A and B are shown apart, each in its own frame.
Chain A
């Protein structure tokens, strides 16, 4: 069964987070194969998700804090 652009976009968030069932996902993939506009849009959002993931949290825990926590845990009775 074919879906409309609106229906595809309504599922964008679940699609991006791989939370759709196989049937739902397949419906969207079929739509994206045929619809240039939605395909472009979904690709854009996927790339943005990558950017959020990579740039939104690239810090590492300070070594000093790490060793302090490990030391504290050892001292807990």
Chain B
């Protein structure tokens, strides 16, 4: 173990200052991810707070100059798995149906048999509601959800995601791909429901 790569702080104030500089700016990112995973404000707040306390206590293990955001996310995903996921642990038994090659685009193209109207995709995309995106993400099985969030919302690279959740890069890729298809399926169902309601209230 090399001590030169670790953060060494001569006193408490110095450690607090270094921690504030490195870690506090990631609070929004951790909070919105906690919201999507725990699905409620209170649990999200508790999770973010425990993450920060844990991170501060282990801050001597953080190597200055490395990616602090990724380090914080690793702490939070571990805490989540240990403290929250246990309660709601569900086996990842998705039906074959969920795994079909499902892309919204194909579905939109199907709906307009023959000549595809050029604006059908734009129309679909602009009709998607914030609340639909959020609940579609929340509905994903945890393994897919966290991978999609880390890649598509937080902008982490495959390699970083593999380090954060502790899995091979190939697993990141396949979870992203399967997660995306499921997400599109949920969005498609929300849109159908929304249009159905609109049609019937005319």
Contact = CB atoms under 8 A, between A and B. Distances in A.
A56 interface: yes
- How many of chain B's residues touch chain A, expressed as a range? 35 or more
A45 B53 CA distance: 39
A56 B153 contact: yes
Interface string A51-73: 11101111111100110111011
Contacts of B157: 17, 19
B104 A44 contact: yes
A52 B183 contact: yes
Contacts, number: 105
Nearest to B108: A44
Contact of B24 (A49, A55, A57, A70): A70
Interface in B168-187: 173, 176-177, 180, 183-184
Contact of A53 (B16, B35, B152): B152
A51 B128 contact: yes
Interface residues of A, number: 32
A22 interface: no
Contact of B49 (A13, A52, A69): A69
A56 B45 contact: no
Contacts of B30: 61
A77 interface: yes
Main secondary structure of the interface of A (DSSP, over half): helix
Contact of B53 (A41, A65, A72, A77): A72
A7 B137 CA distance: 28
A48, A68, A70 pick with most chain B CB within 10 angstroms? A48
B188 to A, nearest CB: 11
Interface of A: 13-14, 17, 19, 40-41, 44-45, 47-49, 51-53, 55-62, 65-66, 68-70, 72-74, 76-77
16 contacts: A41-B103, A41-B105, A47-B121, A48-B104, A52-B133, A52-B183, A53-B153, A55-B133, A55-B134, A57-B29, A59-B31, A61-B31, A66-B27, A68-B49, A69-B53, A73-B53
Given A48-B125, A53-B155, 8 more contacts: A44-B108, A49-B152, A59-B32, A61-B31, A61-B48, A68-B49, A74-B16, A77-B12
